[in-house]
Structure 1
């Protein structure tokens, strides 16, 4: 067990396992640097928003400095959020097969050490945030309550994915706020579309844990939807495409935006048609593939601004 301490099933064979010093491995796993897909999914709405702002303003490219700041901020704040999630869930994680070897649940990191680490990551995230204008800083701070609330929602509602969507989609507001110092219809529509997207892909992710969640008394949309999951994914993914399309229209998007949106929609359709909710490996693969779906849309936005 000592060689596996703090490692979980879907993070084996990564750079943390291979190259990181033993003393820092548990902390890197707390931040999920061994599984960066979550940071990408937090980052992509930020990049969408920055590209949407470029389309609306007639700039040839999104603000590159903002893209870099969002990249750093997404990875750091996702790490802080995951550390907080593991602090809140340490007793539950011990009873779930996929999470029982997380650093706190396995004893590799104490609760006090994890709390100090979460604070440190949050301070780094704050240093990134203060590089933006005052309105964007206030907008970013406003998200913290949702982030703090999320780990507890799975105990009280079958819709914790909505709260996750509210938190993980916040970047859809941030790129526009950083560019213009205000919010308008386009980023709000983008935010709502991103929430629907998050509910869809996190439902796929939650199907990995159905049996353990039932045993632990944890609720999720995967348990709620069950055999109707594909039909509900059609609803949420379809809503995401429509709302994001309206956001692009409100920002003056043209041909290449439509191409990117079409590629995004086709990818989501592929996820629905090929999903097997009883195949945990396929669920994980399709969840991870949402990074590619999001980057296809981002590429279309950038091309629209450029061309």
Structure 2
């Protein structure tokens, strides 16, 4: 008999394993509700973009509702993306120590059941998206192309983190699409900077699996960079800060936004200094720390938008 109470190896001591009904636990694990960090990281570019666009518009009236809808959308679509990833990677996951306890390879749900759950999440995400203008709806739907191909990239390129960056940074476009019904140059620069940031932090994350990945033939920037990861991380984090800086300049952001970017840069610098690629628990902690880095930047952007609107 399948044990629905058995936790995922890298997500112990969480609310799903403690409080959720047994029947719901496999589905909540598919959606990564036991690991909220991915939702935070998907949400960050949305928050940045919305705050920056509100500053450009000199209008904060739609910002609170937009942020709430973005939060709900990030929660649902991150879950959908992870469910799709687990469906496509179920055979690979069974071969990796960290992932073999996920619901599908562990036999807690079938691939067909997971597909039905995926459809329900996508419908919920569509319901959130339809609250926005039609330009934003079209922009959001376009992201599904990147999301759909991402799980297959690790099989053919050492740069799946770049494709993840394209998907996880899409929110950098959505804030402008929702608030201004257009995509300015500032949004494109913000998108590019976020992609560089994602490549950096997901390389740190991928160092947890390098031995298993090498054995089963899965590719990643962690394997590509190897012992040179610190130098590559410094390059991508520097690019992230520089490109986001161009976005702020293009949007006419003020001092407080720049202070937020400086705090963001300081946090990224601390990750570079502390990184030890052979220390998996440390890699996980540094990866998770990017939520706080993103919130520092968001704080600067939203306070700057308030100042610009009231001045």
Q: Same fold (TM over 0.5)?
A: yes
2:249 matched residue in structure 1: 249
2:43 matched residue in structure 1: 43
1:92 matched residue in structure 2: 92
**TM superposition shift of 1:56:** 1.1
TM-score (norm. length: structure 2): 0.97
Distance in structure 1 (CA, Å) of the matches to 2:202 and 2:4? 26
Per-residue Cα deviation, 1:234-263 (whole angstroms, up to 9, x for no partner): 110000000001101111111101110000
Distance in structure 2 (CA, Å) of the matches to 1:95 and 1:123? 32
Is contact 2:3-2:108 (8 Å) kept?
no
Is contact 1:55-1:305 (8 Å) kept?
yes
Distance in structure 1 (CA, Å) of the matches to 2:273 and 2:219? 25
Is contact 2:50-2:175 (8 Å) kept?
yes
Distance in structure 1 (CA, Å) of the matches to 2:110 and 2:94? 14
Is contact 2:207-2:222 (8 Å) kept?
yes
TM-score (norm. length: structure 1): 0.98
Is contact 1:31-1:82 (8 Å) kept?
yes
Alignment of 1:1-307 (within 5 A): 7-60=7-60, 63-307=63-307
Distance in structure 1 (CA, Å) of the matches to 2:4 and 2:60? 48
Distance in structure 2 (CA, Å) of the matches to 1:47 and 1:59? 15
Per-residue Cα deviation, 1:23-68 (whole angstroms, up to 9, x for no partner): 0000000000000100110011001000010121223576111100
Distance in structure 2 (CA, Å) of the matches to 1:219 and 1:273? 25
**TM superposition shift of 1:3:** 5.3
Unaligned runs of 5+ in 2: none
How many residue pairs are counted as aligned between the two chains? 307
**TM superposition shift of 1:8:** 2.2
Is contact 1:257-1:300 (8 Å) kept?
yes
Distance in structure 2 (CA, Å) of the matches to 1:241 and 1:115? 38
Distance in structure 2 (CA, Å) of the matches to 1:89 and 1:5? 22
**TM superposition shift of 1:6:** 5.6
Unaligned runs of 5+ in 1: none
Is contact 1:61-1:302 (8 Å) kept?
no
Moved more, 2-11 or 201-210: 2-11
Is contact 2:196-2:240 (8 Å) kept?
yes
Distance in structure 1 (CA, Å) of the matches to 2:299 and 2:204? 24
Is contact 1:6-1:29 (8 Å) kept?
no
For 2:104, what is the secondary structure of its paired residue? helix
